[in-house]
Chains A and B, each alone.
Chain A
């Protein structure tokens, strides 16, 4: 038996997982159209590499990485590209993003799929392959997997995250129950790629079937991987906290797990890596849990780009459903619309009603009871951070390590005053981001201005020197032929200088590069502004003792 470690805090919310584990994973039917966002991963959106009207095959690449931190996007089925345009996506800001709309031809014809012997690949080739196949982390962060293999530091421990700590979500649980051997095959590839020492597969002990299935698959493959049942505690599935539980090591703040010789992948990511290499299939579908206030909660294997509404219709939402949450109840977001497309990060949709998730009573002032600090897995002092965020004291908030907050929501979960703490932290974080961006821009503008001043000064000196030389020359000439052109010359130089000064002043009045922005930049600014406005609104709504809730 392995010695497990524990992290500070955490909570034990009711899991509600059994709702959606009674039935096996169902394959969702082919929808009439697929809307595939080009940004489904951390970093830059992919560049479309098809044109409207093109016929594409299932698994054909339709978007290529546009930067190092980017990934590829593929056609989930065969069909015709109907449009490449802005479309609403599953982002709480309700702002549209660039998406490729694909009308399936119903034939589901694959591209030529070729198995690749991963043992024959160099490290670079392996990374390039995963990048070409659009493999990103399926645990939620959608970080491109190829980049996680690129770190130069040696990995002693490879951890597979099957903790799945959020209530309601069961997609990884069902995946491990049903496709354990494929996951294990993916782990073999990852271990080879990372040249990792030991392999630990961490699964919360509320999933005995998944643990058994993984055990069986590991022993069937005659591997020495350890399937470890970790205590069920939220947020035990947070990578840094799972690492702590399994190894006792704490990833230093601002560092990566590889800095302490650990790398962590989600179990579903391992499976998609296996498919990319063994089967030649890019990441075009995922398992998603449809649960909560529905008649038939279940897990579906759905193509990327399928509208959530299609999946919810399969499970049949109950009548009093009034909103849908993407993700779990602790960290999920309310879907801006139900017809937005499924993306690589979509692990769960919970149909919600006021009975299922009753609205919180009005917030009372903080009484400093520190129940939040007792449960905070980041070991922060949430009551102090709340105070600083509320009073816009962002410097102090940073000093108290606001950046280390993982927004897991346990503080708000236990707060007896029902203060929406996480909203305050999101607000403070976005303000800090905005301010540092503004400061950066101001610094750049100042540097430009200072350089300009320096240059003008230098030019002035050079001119003065030239003038002095010329005057000396003309004086020498005047001895021969006296005339007055030198006066004109100096005047001309003075005029030139005045023009220069005026130009400089005009430039100063326009210090920032605010015009001639690309549409993308404008869209980004608009989206950031909208998010900030929304958060600000939420934070003011929540301000209990600033804005008294009148009950009469």
Chain B
């Protein structure tokens, strides 16, 4: 180095990204355990697409390919997106979503560090708006003992769109627990009646609650190794708990428990892995708290009163828009400029 400091920590962007990928593994492992290996196919597809589009975009933008490709940021986008798409989705859905995330949401905004929106969430939003039907066929957990496809049959559906004779897609898939909750509430059932349905487990959806727990474990690892700061996940989960708690206490027949909200849908992976994307979240401590609380509130409102079963992605994107403003108005006082000094 030409000037001081001459020493640095060995921490690098690719190490940080690698740790985050590592922290996703408990959740993915539980996913495979409860729903079968199809998710690994979409993760692989998304990874290949992400690396390929990232390389092409770097080339087109005349940026060095090797250091940027090895920063693992594209892989992280790919994994997060794959985890929010139904595993049995046709292959092109994963490819289109990932390509959009990398090309438009990341590189057209200036690449690593310059994107205003979380690329994975943009990819997800594009898919759920453009192909809503494909985004609702989720796998049934093994434990429910319904008709199950074996891995070869899953592959056949993903790549050729063909199912074994006599089976329809509806027979082998189901809506998400949040989606089912919403539909059944509309049909006039009470929360306790809905919760008695076999797809629900102790906290939330059978199987999916355990996957959420896996993400929480990975998230806590990130928290304790200080890869992420506490502000975003804790404030997000805390606010979600508080809001859901208030509604639940006042009307438990129509509003599920706060724990149900925690362990449903994308709340856990969102709190620890999506909101915490440093590029698209505020930089100040106060800003992070506002951002996370806003995202939690929006998640709850969209889930309960909005048109989509889950609200994590849209809540994230809406809060991403506010980041520059939040940062501007939450600048901390610097050393020697605090109130009450001379």
Residues on A facing B (Cβ under 8 Å):
7-8, 13, 92, 167, 240, 250-255, 259-260, 325, 327, 329-334, 352, 357, 359-362, 364-371, 373-374, 377-381, 383-384, 400-401, 404, 409-410, 412-418, 420, 422-423, 426, 538, 541, 545, 548-552
Contacts and interface: CB of A to CB of B under 8 A. Distances in A.
B77 to A, nearest CB: 13
Contact of B7 (A13, A259, A548): A13
Q: Report which residue of A357, A368, A415 has the largest number of chain B beta carbons within 10 angstroms of its beta carbon.
A: A368
B13 interface: yes
A331 B67 contact: no
Contact of A360 (B8, B112, B279, B341): B8
B3 A367 contact: no
B284 interface: yes
A361 B68 CA distance: 12
B334 A360 contact: no
A548 B63 contact: yes
A379 B327 CA distance: 15
A287 to B, nearest CB: 22
Given A365-B111, A369-B16, A253 B3 contact: no
Contact of A545 (B63, B278, B284, B333): B63
B160 interface: no
A416 B15 contact: yes
A381 B331 contact: yes
- Kindly name the residue among B3, B16, B66 whose own CB sees the greatest number of chain A CB atoms within 10 A: B3
Contact of B13 (A259, A367, A413): A367
Range for the number of chain B residues in contact with chain A:
35 or more
B337 A329 contact: no
Given A240-B335, A362-B64, A416-B12, 17 more contacts: A253-B336, A333-B4, A362-B67, A368-B278, A369-B16, A370-B283, A377-B335, A379-B332, A381-B283, A401-B334, A404-B334, A412-B8, A417-B12, A545-B111, A548-B62, A549-B67, A552-B66
A401 B111 CA distance: 28
Contact of A253 (B13, B229, B334): B334
B5 A368 contact: no
B5 A413 contact: yes
B331 A364 contact: no
Contact of B334 (A327, A329, A378, A548): A378
Interface in B61-87: 62-68, 71, 73
Contacts of A410: 5
The 3 lowest CB-CB distance pairs between A and B, nearest first, are: A409-B5, A365-B113, A253-B336
A370 B287 CA distance: 12
A261 to B, nearest CB: 11
Nearest to B342: A252
27 contacts: A7-B335, A252-B336, A252-B337, A255-B342, A331-B5, A352-B6, A357-B6, A357-B7, A362-B67, A365-B112, A365-B113, A365-B114, A367-B13, A368-B113, A369-B16, A373-B283, A373-B284, A374-B229, A381-B284, A384-B327, A404-B334, A404-B337, A417-B13, A417-B113, A420-B2, A549-B67, A552-B66
B338 interface: yes
A5 to B, nearest CB: 13
A292 to B, nearest CB: 10
Contacts of A361: 12, 67
B152 interface: no
A162 B5 CA distance: 22
A186 to B, nearest CB: 28
Contacts of B63: 545, 548
Nearest to B336: A253
B336 A240 contact: yes
Given A253-B336, A253-B337, A551 B4 contact: no
Contact of B2 (A331, A367, A416, A541): A541
Most buried by A among B6, B67, B112, B113: B6
B283 A368 contact: yes
B333 A415 contact: no
A548 B4 CA distance: 22
A213 to B, nearest CB: 29
A551 B337 CA distance: 44
A107 to B, nearest CB: 41
B11 interface: yes
Contacts of B15: 416
Contact of A167 (B7, B67, B334): B7
Contacts of B2: 334, 420, 423, 538, 541
Given A332-B6, A333-B4, A364 B13 contact: yes
B187 interface: no
Interface in B46-102: 62-68, 71, 73
B5 A422 contact: yes
Contacts of A550: 64
B9 interface: yes
B325 interface: no
